[in-house]
Amino acid sequence: MLPITIFRTDPDLVEKRLADKGETSAIAPLLELDQQIRQLTTELNNMRAERNSTSEEIARLKRAQADAGDMITSMRRLSERIKGEEGRLAELQTRLKAALELIPNLPHASVPVGKDEKDNVVVRHWGPAPDFDFKLENHLDLGTKLGLFDFDRGSKIAGSGFPLYTGLGARLERGLINFMLDFHVERGFTEIFPPFMTRYESSLTTGQLPKFAEDMYRTEPDELYLIPTAEVPVTNIHRDEILDEGELPRFYTAYSACFRREAGSYGKDTRGFLRLHQFNKVELVKFVRPDDSYDELETLTAQAEAILQTLGLHYRVLELCSGDLSFAAAKCYDLEIWAPGEEKWLEVSSCSNFESFQARRGNIRYRREADKKVDFLHTLNGSGVATPRLLVALLETYQTPDGTVRLPEVLVPYVGQKELK
């Protein structure tokens, strides 16, 4: 979350930056709560000082065998008043914390100002667009003919949006996951296999809760949440911990199934693998020194790009405008691959710097070597990458006139054959 100090020091700038992100909440109520808390804290400190002074005077009178009855009565009244005001202070602090938890992160100064995805900026393209001299099929037609998946039976089992991979489709999915994990581990990331369910506090840390509860699957009576991404459990590995500066940076990669209710997806294209309630993803998470976080964002994005380059897929990099940033992100790049059968760009990765926003929510800190002071570190994460739309682009890019799909050379050892047929 954002520290209350930035609301105090430059409220106009904060309000403008929040407006750039599409946040219309006024910050005046926050500042009013903060003022009440600070005033009450001062009053309580004065009352405690008075109680301590009175206690010392009572002790002195007792040593002198003098009457301290009136003073004892007065101190009891003061103690009761202190107790009541402490309760009021705790209630105000809870209200302020709850309000701050609903305020999104501020966009970084370098982020282009814009309203929505139409204002995102194309940073670069990679690779030539695939060219074909035959009529293309989309991933649904290809996958159905090749027996790679069965959406009808998946729907019978769990409802729409829950794919059933079959035969070579299941092997390709597993191969993609293993290829990406190996790729990232070879480049210095530590592999994690996290829980797929977390407590409320974990999703609070990463910013899904409390604001986006309707997009998450929740279990009862255990009050556990199915993860929308491995970012949630992996970021919480160091919740309520203090790392030494010498331990930074820390890089983690993790496979997980991801579960999203997609409550706001009405009217969006949900055919095939374009939008799912359950899908697979390999995630990248970084814990870094604040001074390094924007350099680390560039290398994180390059790492996700390297997956697409190794697979030979045409893609582009977008810098998200302020209005299209996620709740927790200060800056973000999206990677979109070209799906020739769909004739559209498909997002397969978002690489974000959250600065100290998640670290403050999860109390993730580091101890500086120079002065031994403790401060909040910065967290980053990126998809490295999600498989559904990757599968779409692979099938459509590497299809052949006879209906088979030729696999990129790097996937052959993972799938066990050179083509899907």
Q: Which domains, ranges and CATH numbers included, belong to the chain?
A: 4-100 (1.10.287.40), 117-420 (3.30.930.10)
* pLDDT for the residue 174: 97
- Say which residue the tokens 């695939």 belong to: 130
The reported pLDDT for the residue numbered 265 is 52
Which tokens in the block code for residue 222?
């255990």
Residue with tokens 């209200």, as numbered in its chain? 95
Ranges assigned E (strand) in 245-310: 250-259, 278-288
pLDDT at position 71: 86
Both tokens of 305, joined, read: 């790009």
Q: Using the Cα atoms of residue 225, residue 229, residue 233 and residue 235 in order, give the sign of their dihedral.
A: negative
Whole-model pTM: value is: 0.91
Report yes or no: 147 and 399 within 8 Å, Cβ to Cβ.
no
Backbone phi, psi, residue 271, to 5° = -70, 140
Instruction: Going from the first residue of the chain to its last (421 residues), give the mean pLDDT of each consecutive group of 10, the final group possibly shorter.
Output: 92 93 87 96 95 91 87 90 95 95 95 96 96 93 94 94 95 98 98 98 96 93 96 98 97 97 63 90 98 98 98 98 97 98 96 98 97 97 96 97 96 96 93
Q: Is the CB of residue 341 less than 8 Å from the CB of residue 140?
A: no
Place of tokens 């790679």: 148
Cis peptide before 163 (omega within 30 of 0): no
Per the CB < 8 A criterion, the answer to whether 107 and 17 are in contact is yes
pLDDT on residue 269: 65
Q: What is the Cα–Cα distance from 195 to 290, expressed in whole angstroms?
A: 28
